[in-house]
Chain A
Amino acid sequence: MASPTVFMPPRHYLNDGYGIKSWLLTRDHKRIALLYLASVTFFFFLGGAMAVLIRLELATPVGDLVTDETYNKLFTMHGVMMVFFFLIPAIPSVLGNFLVPIMIGAKDLAFPKLNLASWYIYVIGATFTTYSLVTGGLDTGWTFYTPFSTVASSSNVISAALGIFITGFSSILTGLNFIVTIHRMRAPGMTWFRMPLFMWSIYATSLIMVLGTPVVAITIVLVAAERLFHFGFFDPRVGGDPVLFQHLFWFYSHPAVYIMILPAMGVISELVAAFCRKQVFGYKFVAFASVAIAVLGFLVWGHHMFVAGISVYAALVFSILSFLVAVPSAVKVFNWTATMYKGSVSWQTPMLYAIGFIGLFTIGGLTGLFLAAVGLDVHVTDTYFIVAHFHYIMVGGTIMGYLGGLHYWWPKISGRLYNEFLAKISAAIIFVGFNLTFFPQFILGYLGMPRRYHAYPPEFQVLNVLSSAGASILGVGYLLPMIYLMWSLRYGRIAGSNPWGAVGLEWTTTSPPPTENFAETPIVTWEAYDYQAPVEHHVA
C-alpha cells in the first residue's frame, strides 16, 4: 500500500468555492453529502443524549431521575430522532449521495437541484419535529399508536407528525434520484453486474423509499386529521378501528427497517471485498438477496401485530413470510464469511467494523427467528427482548456499517487519513460497549420486563445496571471518532487517491475528488472487485 505519489490535488470539490453560500446553494452531490453528514450527526448525538438519560433512569428500579411523563417523552423522541432523522437518511444520504455517482462513473446525480431540495426538505421536517420537542415534547412512542395518539395524548403530536411527513418527501426524492441515476448515468461498460454491491443495495433501498414512504405519509396525515377534526378512522366509538392504524403504520415501518439495514449490508460487501482484496463470494446471490429482502419486506408487516387481536391464520401467514426473509439474510452472511476464505485479510479499522457487523447482525438476525415463531413471539414481544433485537440490527448492524463505511471512505471524502490506532481502539470500545448494553436486554425480555417502563420490579436491576454501564462505554466509543475524524481534517496525513489499495472507480480519482468526479469519463472493461489485474489497469 506504500504508494510513492501521495499528494493533495490542487483542485478538488472542497476548495471549489468558499463561503457559506457555496455550501448552501451547492448542487455537488459530494457537498450535499457533507451537509447531510453534519445534520445526521447532530441528530445522532441529540438522540444519543436522550438514550443516556433513559439508561441513567433505568439504573435504579424506581422512577427517580425524571418523571414518568418526561421519561415517556425521552424514549419517544429518542426513537423519532434516531429512526427518522438518523438511521433512515444516514447511509443513503451521506455515503450514498457521495458515492453513487462516483461508483458508477457519473459526474453527479441525475437531478442535482432536486438533491439539494431533498436536503432542505429534510431540514424543514427536522425543524418541525425539533420544535415539538422544545415546546413540550411528544409522548406517543415513535410508533404513534392510536387511539392513544389521537384521543389520549396531550403532547405535540401534530407538529411532530408534520415533521415526519415532510421528511418523508426527502426520502422519496432521494430514492427517486438514485433510481434514475443508476438506470441512466452509468459510465460506458458499467453494466448492472459490474456495479459494486453497494449500488445494488442502494437501488433496492431506493425502491422501498419510493414505494413505502407515501404510505406512512398518508397514515400520519390520518392521525393528524383525526386529532384535529375527529374523523373517526381509528375511533371505535364511531365505527373506526384502532388496529387499522397499526396495519398502515407497519406497512411502511417494517420496510423502513430494510431502508436502514440494506445500505449497511451494501457497505459491508464493499468493506469485505476491499480488505480481503477479493471479489465478494457469490456476487449475484448477494445482489439478488438485496432485492429479495426489499420485496419480501413489504409482506411481513403483520409480524408486529401477533398479539394485537389479528386472526390466528393471518398471524400464521405473516409468520411464514417473516421466516422467508431470514433466508436471503443468511445467504449474505455466509457469502461475506466465505469471501474471507483465502483472502488477503487486513485488520485495518473498516474491516474491524465489518467483522463486528457480521457478528452482531448474525445475533440480531437469529433473534429475529424467535420473534417470527409466533408462539414464542407472544411471550417476548413488547418486552426488552424486542428492544435488544432491533438494536442489534439498527445499532449493531446499521451504525456499525455506517461507521465502517465512513472510515473506509473518509480518506476519499477528506483527502486525509485518520489516526489508525485511535480508530481501532474506538471500534473495539464500541463493540464491547454495544454488547454489554444490549445483550442483557435479551435476558431481561425473556424474564418478562416490558419495554417503555419508567420503573420496574427490583429483580430486574442487576441486568439493567449492566446495560447502563455498557451504554456509558458505548457513548465514549461514539465520541472518539467524532474527535479524531475532525482532528484528521487538519492534521491527518495526506491520503492519496488509493490509500487502501482497493479497486472501484472511486479509488481511481483523486482524494478528494474534483467537482466533476473524473477528469474524463471512465470506460469500464472489468468486473467489480477485480483484484487480479495490476492496479494501474483501471485508471481511465
Chain B
Amino acid sequence: MAGRVDNLYFFLLAISIFFSVLIAGLIVFYAIRYRRRDPDSVGTVLHGMMALEVGWTVIPFIISMVIFVWGASVFFAISRPPDETLNIYVVGKQWMWKFQHLDGQREINELHVPVGRPVKLIMTSEDVIHDVFVPAFRVKADVIPGRYTNLWFQPTKPGRYHLFCAEYCGTRHSGMTGEVIVMEPSEFQTWLSGGAPEGSLASAGAKLFQDLACNTCHRPDAQGRGPVLEGLFGKTVQLQSGETNTVDEAYVRESILNPAAKVAAGFQPIMPTFQGLVTEEQLLELVEYVKSLQALPQVQTR
C-alpha cells in the first residue's frame, strides 16, 4: 500500500514541479523581457484568445480527472480489507490506545502484529474522536465514539513503526502515541502465547453473557424471548420495520446499547438497554462472543 500511495505522490509531485516551474519561469521571463523602460509606456492591447482560454480550462480538467481516478483506486484499496484478516480491536481514550487480540492478549500503546498478514483494526473510542495513524503504512482512520471504524494494513517488513493519534483530542494529544511492532510470524506466535491470563476475548464475552443474564432470553434452543444468536453473525436479518440488516459488529453493539433501534422481525421490543452498564471493552468481548457462536450451540474457543 505504501508503494501505491507513494507512486501517486511522486506523480503529483512531478505535475506540481512542472506547473510551478512553468508559471514561475514565465513570470520571471515576462517581468524581465517586458520590463517597463519608459515611465509612460503602456502594455500592448491583446484581445483574449478563445483557444488559449479553452485550452487552459480543458487541460487542467483532464489532468484533474486522471488524478481523481488514480486517487479513487488507491482509496478503494485502502478502504477494502481482504476477506481473511487478523482482527484486532482498538479502544482509544484520552490519552492512550488499548489493543485487544482475539486470544486475549491486551496491550497499551504498543501493537504487535506479524509480518506479511493483512491486519484489520476494529476501532472505537470511549470519549472523544481520536485517529489511528501509522505513517509508515500510509494509513489513517478516525476512531469515533459510538461506532466502529476499520483500518487495515499488511506489514511487509519487521520493525518498530510510529503510531500517532492524528485527531486532536485534548491536553495530552501529542502524548497519545505508540508503536506498531512488526514481528516474524513465529516470533509473533511466541509473543501471543506469552501469557493471556484472562483467556480469549470470546470466552471473556461468554462469561459476561452469563453475568448480565443475556442467556435467559437469547437461548440456543429458540425457546427464549430474544432471537437465537448462534450462527447469526454475518447473516442478514429481517427487521420489524420491514427493512433488512446485516449482522455486523456495529449491529451487535447497537442492539446491546439501543435495542429498540432495529428489532428483529417476530420479536417484541422488550430488551432493556445496557448503556452505561458495559464498557467499550466489554462490548467488544460480547461482540466477539456473538461472532464465535456457530450454528451448533457451543462456545468455540481457539
Count chain A CB atoms within 10 A of each CB in B60, B127, B141 and give the residue with the most: B60
Task: Please name 11 further chain A to chain B contacts, defined as beta carbons within 8 Å, in addition to the given A312-B76, A320-B68, A378-B141, sorted by A numbering.
Answer: A147-B127, A151-B127, A306-B75, A347-B35, A373-B8, A373-B71, A375-B71, A379-B138, A452-B168, A457-B162, A531-B43
Q: Looking across the interface, which residue of chain B has its beta carbon closest to that of A373?
A: B71
Complex interface: stretch among B13-21, B199-207, B208-216, B286-294: B13-21
Contact B74 A342 (CB under 8 A): no
Contact B23 A333 (CB under 8 A): yes
Known: A337-B27, A379-B135. A345 touches B35 (CB 8 A): yes
Complex interface: stretch among B99-107, B143-151, B184-192, B219-227: B143-151
Contact A236 B34 (CB under 8 A): no
Contact B71 A374 (CB under 8 A): yes
Known: A326-B64, A343-B30. A242 touches B144 (CB 8 A): yes
Contact B31 A345 (CB under 8 A): yes
* Candidates B75, B144, B164, B174; contact of A454 at CB < 8 Å: B174
Q: Looking across the interface, which residue of chain B has its beta carbon closest to that of A289?
A: B57
Contact A277 B43 (CB under 8 A): yes
Judged by a CB distance under 8 angstroms, whether B243 is at the interface is no
Judged by a CB distance under 8 angstroms, whether A134 is at the interface is no
Q: Interface residue count for B (Cβ, 8 Å)?
A: 82
Contact B12 A276 (CB under 8 A): no
Contact A375 B68 (CB under 8 A): no
Encode A282-317 as 1/0 by CB contact (under 8 A) with B: 111100000000000000000000111100100110
- The docked-state distance in angstroms from the alpha carbon of A458 to that of B78 is 29
Contact A309 B149 (CB under 8 A): yes
Contact B64 A532 (CB under 8 A): no
A333 / chain B contacts, CB cutoff of 8 Å: 23
Known: A323-B64, A355-B27, A448-B133. A342 touches B43 (CB 8 A): yes
* Candidates B139, B141, B164, B258; contact of A450 at CB < 8 Å: B164
Contact A337 B30 (CB under 8 A): yes
* Candidates B5, B65, B67, B128; contact of A152 at CB < 8 Å: B128
B75 / chain A contacts, CB cutoff of 8 Å: 306, 312, 315-316, 319, 374-375, 378
* Candidates A236, A309, A452, A453; contact of B141 at CB < 8 Å: A309
Judged by a CB distance under 8 angstroms, whether A69 is at the interface is yes
* Candidates B5, B31, B127, B175; contact of A68 at CB < 8 Å: B175
B31 / chain A contacts, CB cutoff of 8 Å: 340, 345, 347, 355
* Candidates A68, A151, A378, A447; contact of B172 at CB < 8 Å: A68
Contact B129 A237 (CB under 8 A): no
Contact A147 B129 (CB under 8 A): yes
A341 / chain B contacts, CB cutoff of 8 Å: 30, 34, 46
* Candidates B5, B26, B79; contact of A379 at CB < 8 Å: B5
- The docked-state distance in angstroms from the alpha carbon of A370 to that of B135 is 16
Interface residues of B (CB under 8 A from A): 4-5, 8-9, 12, 15-16, 19-20, 23-24, 26-27, 30-31, 34-36, 38-46, 48, 52-53, 56-57, 60-61, 64-65, 67-68, 70-80, 94, 127-129, 131, 133, 135-136, 138-142, 144-147, 149, 162, 164-175, 258, 275
Contact A283 B170 (CB under 8 A): no
Q: Looking across the interface, which residue of chain B has its beta carbon closest to that of A382?
A: B166
Minimal beta-carbon separation of A226 from chain B (angstroms) = 14
Closest 8 CB pairs of A and B: A236-B146, A448-B135, A375-B74, A278-B43, A373-B71, A343-B43, A323-B64, A340-B30
Contact B71 A327 (CB under 8 A): no
Contact B42 A277 (CB under 8 A): yes
A337 / chain B contacts, CB cutoff of 8 Å: 23, 26-27, 30
A283 / chain B contacts, CB cutoff of 8 Å: 48
B166 / chain A contacts, CB cutoff of 8 Å: 307, 381-383, 450-451
Q: Looking across the interface, which residue of chain A has its beta carbon closest to that of B257?
A: A237
A316 / chain B contacts, CB cutoff of 8 Å: 72, 75
Contact A344 B42 (CB under 8 A): yes
Contact B174 A63 (CB under 8 A): yes
Contact B170 A139 (CB under 8 A): yes
* Candidates A239, A334, A344; contact of B258 at CB < 8 Å: A239
A359 / chain B contacts, CB cutoff of 8 Å: 20, 23-24, 27
Judged by a CB distance under 8 angstroms, whether A501 is at the interface is yes
Instruction: Report 8 cross-chain contacts, Cβ distance below 8 Å, ordered by A residue.
Output: A145-B168, A236-B146, A241-B146, A277-B41, A334-B56, A337-B23, A340-B30, A374-B72
* Candidates B46, B48, B72; contact of A375 at CB < 8 Å: B72
Judged by a CB distance under 8 angstroms, whether A324 is at the interface is yes
Contact A370 B34 (CB under 8 A): no
* Candidates B35, B135, B144, B171; contact of A309 at CB < 8 Å: B144
Known: A355-B27, A379-B138. A152 touches B43 (CB 8 A): no
Q: Looking across the interface, which residue of chain A has its beta carbon closest to that of B173?
A: A452
Encode A368-403 as 1/0 by CB contact (under 8 A) with B: 011011111111011100000000000000000000
Contact B165 A450 (CB under 8 A): yes
A362 / chain B contacts, CB cutoff of 8 Å: 19-20, 23-24
Contact B57 A152 (CB under 8 A): no
Minimal beta-carbon separation of B158 from chain A (angstroms) = 19
Minimal beta-carbon separation of A273 from chain B (angstroms) = 9
- The docked-state distance in angstroms from the alpha carbon of A231 to that of B37 is 68
Known: A145-B168, A307-B142, A315-B75. A278 touches B27 (CB 8 A): no
Contact B144 A243 (CB under 8 A): yes
Minimal beta-carbon separation of A274 from chain B (angstroms) = 11
Contact B60 A319 (CB under 8 A): no
B142 / chain A contacts, CB cutoff of 8 Å: 307-309
Q: Looking across the interface, which residue of chain A has its beta carbon closest to that of B58?
A: A327
Contact A327 B57 (CB under 8 A): yes
Minimal beta-carbon separation of A400 from chain B (angstroms) = 14
- The docked-state distance in angstroms from the alpha carbon of A450 to that of B173 is 10
- The docked-state distance in angstroms from the alpha carbon of A277 to that of B173 is 53
Which residues of A (443-471) have their CB < 8 Å from a CB of B? 446-448, 450-457
Judged by a CB distance under 8 angstroms, whether A221 is at the interface is no
A373 / chain B contacts, CB cutoff of 8 Å: 8, 12, 67-68, 70-71, 74
Contact A319 B68 (CB under 8 A): yes
- The docked-state distance in angstroms from the alpha carbon of A423 to that of B250 is 61
